[in-house]
A and B are shown apart, each in its own frame.
Chain A
Amino acid sequence: MNVPAQSLSPGFHTEDMTISVGPQHPSTHGVLRFVVKTDGEVIGEAIPDVGYLHRSIEKIGEKVTWHGYVPYTDRADYLAAMFANQGFCMAAERLGGVEVTRRGEFCRVIACELNRIASHLISVGTFGQDIGAITPFVHALRERESINNLMEEICGARLTYNYIRIGGVGYDILPETCGRITEFLDHFEPIVDEYNRLLSYNKIFIKRLAGVAVVSREDALSYNLVGPNLRGAGIKWDIRRDIPYSVYPELEFDVPVGTGHVGTLGDSYDRYWVRIRELQQSCKILRQCLKMLPTGPAIAKVPRKFKPPAGECYVRVEAPRGDMGFYVVSDGSEYPYRVRIRTGSFAAMAIIDKLSKGIMVADLIALIGSLDVDAPEIDR
């Protein structure tokens, strides 16, 4: 809802308030800070202040070996750790001329799609909590527990996996795990419907989000938004479809795009609804992968001291928060020369200032949640 900031009578002298949302705030996603100037409830501008979670991950890339850097990429966005793993490993493989085995590719897709479901569950859950619905958040976490258990079975860790390695994957997926993944999918798909009935179709929820913080197509493109933020604005762009990698060309899935069926195209509800539908599409992809999983080794032969020839490459993977780009430069030694990670949340922070003019403080929280910004991704 856009209320012009000069809606008070001109002769009435008011003062703007400058308040600081964060860095300690129950619902900025991670350690973020916004300096918000408001006129009562209506925001004049919201300037993001990032850097509270900076851990120099890109600099560390220059100090550890190629194999040793893969666990660090987990921490670039700990909610979507697999994708960072995959991005870096793909870059290293492209530089080193390593071909991943077919079974390795399928294992990668299975792990990535499971992680996508987990990340989107957190995203929609915390979004519901920001709007005030406390129960759907815990239900989403409950489902994520099952995914954590599956990942624990596959690779031994629940959050920072270090599963995707240069040349394939670190551990093979055993048949009983595949059976458990299928069981989980059978259990999970009706749960998404229940989640929708509890939260997504709730009239209060819809009224909070319909028409709030609309991102137009031009804005989405000029501010460089990616992922569900871009698709929520109506642009059908998905790296898995448009710059395909791994075995995605062989898999059948839809790319959900925002339609504006409640409110305007590109509003917060569209972005949220794109994420819910991506949950369902990931289930579809997983079922196909489990059926098509070939036999063979899960990892290719890669030397212990990996020394790709000098060169540079840019790899993009479709992470849950948009496309994650890895620009890796090698100078022929066993340490990378430069690793640069480009994440979607950083661009989403830039658009918050533009979108927050004229909305209310409650809408700012809805906006941040709907863009699914994630502090570790922004600050790395």
Chain B
Amino acid sequence: MQAFIDQLIQEGYFQAVSKEAVYATAMVLVAFAVLSFFVAPLAGVTSWLERRVWARMQSRVGPNRVGPQGILQWLADGIKNLLKEDLIPSAADKKLFSLAPYVVFVGFLCTFVVIPFGSQLIVADLNIGILYILAVTSLVVVGILMAGWSSNNKWSLLGGMRSAAQIVSYEIPAGLSALTIVFIAGTLSMQGIIKAQGWAPWDWFLFHNPFTFAAFFLFFTAALAEGNRTPFDIPEAESELVAGYVTEYSGMRFLFFFFAEWGNLYVIGAVATTLFMGGWQIPPVTDDPVLLGALQFMVFFLKAYFWVFVAMWVRATLPRVRVDQLMAMCWKYMVPLSFICMLGTIVWMLVFGPQGSQIFSVVLFVLAVGILGYFANRVLYQIRNARPELYFKPHI
């Protein structure tokens, strides 16, 4: 984007003001545009989709009254929460209590700067892209601890502590899995990682070698844990701690936490797509830059949203793990496995060269398709064994 602004300055648009002022204004405007026109509706629609997906998985219909198919439900929820009384418990630490949601929000929003929506559609292609994302999402820990402590409520405190332990621990498998990819791509920059992949599935880093295949699942699991999603949603475990660290929050402050959570799902999906699934790469169908940009945006969005759907699906299916089991899983299972994946990838690259072996990639891809086929088989088995016509027969 910087190149675009420089081009505009050269063409003589912003003569009167200094270059820094132009940059600053452009940054603010772009941030505003991205946040209000992309992130806010995205988080809202994700919340609606999550409720619909859960409902269909539970044999019921989710919210479907507000707007066509209920798609404006999030607007109704947002307006309702805005109109609620702004309640700060009298014994709570007012400054920290008010500030905590914003810290969490900032922690998640800063990642949007480096998400590559298309080959030209990125706000800033930092050359430390993936490292920046891992660093900035850790701000969320500070926010959650602030929320848990300042609520002056033992349940919130328990939730905040659990969350801090969880997020800090799961940074490591996430970082190591990302590092595995960085070795292959040779760069930390997000666009660089995508450009090192191709558009065909066997050119993706996901199928590059068996170790990256495993690293993908480790990364996804660790990212779910960082996003406080089931099976790791202990900090907000509804049935155990009433609502964990958000117990004392109500109204818009409460929504901010969940806004951050749903938006974070998209960031997880986006990073997973960038690292493992080839990002916005599409087959070379057109040269027109606008059309190309639009197609790349669509492809990236669909790939990233698919993982959002998988995260919702996992939440509907699995029970939650206990805190000590969560820690055990991280330190005893995921960290050693991440190291093995990383070392395995390095050895693979030594043996087969930095591009890996095309044959192995195709074989892995076929294997993955086979697993999907087996999955479809199990789904059909479940459908055949349950008799849907008896779900409910009104007495007519």
Q: From known contacts A130-B239, A145-B392, A194-B385, infer whether A207 and B316 are also in contact, taking CB-CB under 8 Å.
A: no
Cross-chain contact A365 with B239 (CB below 8 angstroms): yes
Q: B317 CB to closest chain A CB, in angstroms?
A: 6
Contacts of A199 in B (CB 8 A): 319
Q: B390 on the interface (CB 8 Å rule)?
A: yes
A-B contact count (CB 8 A): 105
Q: A205 on the interface (CB 8 Å rule)?
A: yes
Q: From known contacts A26-B238, A194-B386, infer whether A202 and B154 are also in contact, taking CB-CB under 8 Å.
A: no
Q: From known contacts A146-B392, A208-B322, A362-B237, infer whether A135 and B317 are also in contact, taking CB-CB under 8 Å.
A: yes
Q: A361 on the interface (CB 8 Å rule)?
A: yes
Q: B379 CB to closest chain A CB, in angstroms?
A: 12
Cross-chain contact B316 with A204 (CB below 8 angstroms): no
Contacts of A139 in B (CB 8 A): 58-59
A186 to B390, CA, bound (A): 10
Q: B231 on the interface (CB 8 Å rule)?
A: yes
Contact of B319 among A27, A149, A205 (CB under 8 A): A205
Q: A97 on the interface (CB 8 Å rule)?
A: no
Cross-chain contact B239 with A132 (CB below 8 angstroms): yes
A235 to B327, CA, bound (A): 36
Q: A237 on the interface (CB 8 Å rule)?
A: no
Contacts of A138 in B (CB 8 A): 58-60
Q: B323 on the interface (CB 8 Å rule)?
A: yes
Contacts of A350 in B (CB 8 A): none
Contacts of A362 in B (CB 8 A): 234, 237, 240, 322-323
Q: B155 on the interface (CB 8 Å rule)?
A: yes
A187 to B322, CA, bound (A): 35
Please give the number of chain B residues whose Cβ is less than 8 angstroms from any Cβ of chain A in the complex: 39
Q: B44 CB to closest chain A CB, in angstroms?
A: 21
A134 to B386, CA, bound (A): 20
A139 to B60, CA, bound (A): 10
Q: A153 on the interface (CB 8 Å rule)?
A: yes
Contacts of B151 in A (CB 8 A): none
Q: Which of A264-286 contact B (CB under 8 A)?
A: none
Q: A271 CB to closest chain B CB, in angstroms?
A: 16
Cross-chain contact B322 with A363 (CB below 8 angstroms): yes
Q: A326 CB to closest chain B CB, in angstroms?
A: 33
Contacts of B264 in A (CB 8 A): none
Q: B393 CB to closest chain A CB, in angstroms?
A: 7
In this complex, the interface size class of chain A, counting residues with CB under 8 Å from chain B, is: 35 or more
Q: Which of B224-268 contact A (CB under 8 A)?
A: 230-231, 233-234, 237-242
Cross-chain contact A135 with B316 (CB below 8 angstroms): yes
A130 to B319, CA, bound (A): 9
Q: From known contacts A17-B154, A26-B238, A132-B239, infer whether A202 and B393 are also in contact, taking CB-CB under 8 Å.
A: no
Q: From known contacts A25-B242, A134-B316, A362-B322, infer whether A204 and B386 are also in contact, taking CB-CB under 8 Å.
A: no
A139 to B56, CA, bound (A): 11
Complex interface bits, A127-150 against B, C-beta within 8 A gives 1, otherwise 0: 011111111001100100110010
Cross-chain contact B322 with A190 (CB below 8 angstroms): no
Q: B395 on the interface (CB 8 Å rule)?
A: yes
Complex interface bits, B312-348 against A, C-beta within 8 A gives 1, otherwise 0: 0001111111111100000000000000000000000
Contacts of B239 in A (CB 8 A): 26-27, 129-132, 365
Contacts of B233 in A (CB 8 A): 132
Q: B26 CB to closest chain A CB, in angstroms?
A: 45
A26 to B239, CA, bound (A): 5
Contacts of B158 in A (CB 8 A): 41, 361
Q: Which of A144-168 contact B (CB under 8 A)?
A: 145-146, 149, 152-153
Cross-chain contact A133 with B322 (CB below 8 angstroms): no
Q: From known contacts A149-B393, A191-B386, A194-B386, infer whether A133 and B317 are also in contact, taking CB-CB under 8 Å.
A: yes
Chain B's closest residue to A369 (CB) is: B239
User: Residues on A close to B: CB < 8 A?
Assistant: 1, 3, 17, 19, 25-27, 41, 128-135, 138-139, 142, 145-146, 149, 152-153, 183-184, 186-187, 190-191, 193-194, 198-199, 202, 204-205, 207-208, 360-363, 365
User: Residues on B close to A: CB < 8 A?
Assistant: 54, 57-60, 154-155, 158, 162, 230-231, 233-234, 237-242, 315-325, 382, 385-387, 390-393, 395
Q: List 15 A-B contacts (CB under 8 A).
A: A130-B240, A132-B233, A134-B316, A135-B57, A139-B58, A145-B392, A146-B392, A149-B393, A152-B395, A183-B390, A186-B387, A202-B319, A204-B320, A207-B321, A208-B320
Other CB < 8 Å A-B pairs besides A142-B59, A194-B386, 11 of them?
A: A27-B239, A41-B158, A128-B319, A131-B320, A132-B233, A132-B237, A132-B318, A133-B317, A135-B58, A146-B392, A184-B390
Interchain residue pairs A-B with the least CB separation, the first 4:
A132-B320, A138-B58, A27-B239, A133-B319
